[in-house]
Amino acid sequence: METAVAALFEPLRVRGLTLPNRIVMSPMTRNFSTGGVPGPDVATYYRRRAEGEVGLIVTEGTGVDHPSAIGEGGLGKRQSDIPLMYGEGSLAGWRRVVENVHAARGLIIPQLWHMGVYRLQGTGPHPEAESIRPSGLWGPRGGHTSTSPEFIAKVIEPTKPPSDELVQDVVDAFVRSAHAAMSVGFDGIAVHGAHGYLIDTFFWHETNQRNGRWGGDIRARVEFGVQIVRGLRQAVGPGKPVIFRYSQFKAQDYAARIANTPEELDQFLQPLAEAGVDVFDVSARHFDRPAFEGSTLSLAGWTKKLTGCTTMAVGGVGLTRDGQIVTDYNLHRVVARIEQGEFDLIAVGRSLLNDANWVRKVRHGEPFLPFTTAAFDTLI
C-alpha cells in the first residue's frame, strides 16, 4: 500500500459495521431502474464498486413509500427510472443488489429520498398525487441555480401547503421504506436531507414559513428531520447506522445557507444528533472549503466539532476544481484532514462513477482513468 494514503485505509467502526476503509461511494441518481425496479445491470454496477474495494456504498436516491415522492425533477431525469424503496418488484430488485454487493464482501446502504418541491406535478409513478412543499413555495426567484428557466416556470407558482397530518404521513413513509430496506438485507439507512429536496425545504426559512408543529424558528424547522431520524433509528435497530445528508446549498439557490454562524449550525445539528444520527454526510461542492469566516474548518469539520458524531466530507475528490479531469492532486489534502481528525470519512461521487476500481488504484498508487462524461450515460 502507498504509505501516503494509509490514513484512508484505517478501518472504522460505526455501530455494528466495520468499514474496511474511509472511502464511501456518494449517492448518485442513475435513472437506470425502469419502472422503479433496479435490474441485474444495476446490481452488477454496484457489485463492481464493492469488488473495487469501496469501503461503503450509499446507493442513489430511492423513492420513499409515498405517492408524492418521485417524479420528473427538472434536472433531466427520466421520471420512471428512479428506483423505489417499496413494492414487491423494486424490493426484489434491491435484494439482488444487496446479495451481489455482499457476495463481493461490500457494504451497502440505500439513500431514502422524497423530491418535494422538485417533483413536477402530474409525473412519476403516481401522477395523480399532489406534490408536497412545506409552505407551498418552490423557492425564491432569482437564486443562483442551474435549474432551467422552463422548469422554474412550471413550478414557481405557490401551491396549497400540506396539512400537519399529511406531513406526518410522509414521516411514516420514510419509516416504512426503512423497514422495507432492512427486510432485503441493507446494512443501514441513509437519508437525503440536502440540496433543496423535501426535508431540506423544511429546514430552509425561504421555503418553510409554516406555524405550528412543523415550522417557526430553526428548532421547529428541523422537527421534520428529527421525526424521520427517530423513526429510522428504531427501524434499523441498534447494530446498523443512520446516515444523514445535509447541505447549506440548495438546487434552487447555490448561495443559500441554513446556518450563517457556528452557533446557528449547532442549533440545527444538535436535535438531529440527539434523534439518532450516527453519521453526518455533509454535502458540499468542495470537501475542504472553509465553512465560516475566521477558520479553515470545512462544514464537515464543524459538524464533527459540534456534534462529536462520525462525519463524512464530500466534493471534488480526484477531480480538478472545474470537475472535468480526473487527477490525484488533491488526495493528500483529504489524507491530511482525516489524520488531523477533522472528519472521518470521504465520499466520492464522480471519480467512482468513472472508474469502479478507483479505490484500489488509490491503495496501490496506480494512475486513474481519464475522466469521461460517458460515465454519466452508462452503467460502467
Ligand X SMILES: Cc1cc2nc3c(=O)[nH]c(=O)nc-3n(C[C@H](O)[C@H](O)[C@H](O)COP(=O)(O)O)c2cc1C
> In sequence order, what are the residues at sequence separation of 6 or more whose Cβ sits closer than 8 angstroms to the Cβ of residue 26?
58, 314, 347, 348, 349, 352
In this chain, which of 48, 245, 250, 361 binds ligand X, going by CB under 6 A? 245
Collapsing DSSP to helix, strand or coil, 310 comes out as strand
Closer CB to ligand X, 125 or 316, in the complex: 316
Place of cell 430488485: 93
Cα–Cα distance for residue pair 75/256, rounded to 1 Å: 19
In this chain, which of 5, 14, 19, 29 binds ligand X, going by CB under 6 A? 29
Query: How many residues appear in the chain?
Result: 380
By CB under 6 A, tell whether 90 contacts ligand X. no
> What grid cell was written down for 267?
442549533
Collapsing DSSP to helix, strand or coil, 186 comes out as coil
By CB under 6 A, tell whether 60 contacts ligand X. yes
By CB under 6 A, tell whether 317 contacts ligand X. yes
Picking from 359, 338, 329, 377, the residue whose alpha carbon sits closest to that of residue 55 is 359
**Residue 141 one-letter amino acid:** R
Closer CB to ligand X, 71 or 349, in the complex: 349
By CB under 6 A, tell whether 145 contacts ligand X. no
CB burial of residue 270 (10 Å; 0-12, 13-18, 19+):
middle
Helices (H), 104-217: 149-155, 164-183, 198-203
Query: CA distances (Å), 291 to each of 76, 87, 259, 283, 313, in order?
Result: 30, 41, 10, 12, 12
Collapsing DSSP to helix, strand or coil, 330 comes out as coil
By CB under 6 A, tell whether 192 contacts ligand X. yes
Nearest approach in angstroms of CB 247 to ligand X is: 8
In this chain, which of 181, 228, 243, 314 binds ligand X, going by CB under 6 A? 314
CB burial of residue 208 (10 Å; 0-12, 13-18, 19+):
buried
In this chain, which of 19, 27, 94, 98 binds ligand X, going by CB under 6 A? 27
> In sequence order, what are the residues at sequence separation of 6 or more whose Cβ sits closer than 8 angstroms to the Cβ of residue 136?
158, 159, 160, 161
| Cβ neighbours around 122 below 10 Å, total | 13
By CB under 6 A, tell whether 162 contacts ligand X. no
> What grid cell was written down for 180?
422495507
By CB under 6 A, tell whether 350 contacts ligand X. yes
What mask of x and - would describe binding to ligand X in positions 270 to 309, judged by CB under 6 A? Answer: -------------x--------------------------
> What grid cell was written down for 197?
429536496
Nearest approach in angstroms of CB 106 to ligand X is: 18
Closer CB to ligand X, 161 or 356, in the complex: 356
Nearest approach in angstroms of CB 250 to ligand X is: 13
Nearest approach in angstroms of CB 131 to ligand X is: 18
Nearest approach in angstroms of CB 31 to ligand X is: 9
Nearest approach in angstroms of CB 111 to ligand X is: 6
What mask of x and - would describe binding to ligand X in positions 105 to 134, judged by CB under 6 A? Answer: ------x-----------------------
In this chain, which of 19, 316, 343, 363 binds ligand X, going by CB under 6 A? 316
Nearest approach in angstroms of CB 263 to ligand X is: 26
By CB under 6 A, tell whether 348 contacts ligand X. yes
Closer CB to ligand X, 118 or 215, in the complex: 118
> In sequence order, what are the residues at sequence separation of 6 or more whose Cβ sits closer than 8 angstroms to the Cβ of residue 6?
none
Residue 110 DSSP symbol: E
Closer CB to ligand X, 61 or 116, in the complex: 61
By CB under 6 A, tell whether 61 contacts ligand X. yes
Closer CB to ligand X, 267 or 327, in the complex: 327
By CB under 6 A, tell whether 188 contacts ligand X. no
The residues that touch ligand X, with contacts defined as CB under 6 A, are 26-29, 60-61, 111, 192, 194, 245, 283, 314-317, 319, 348-351, 376
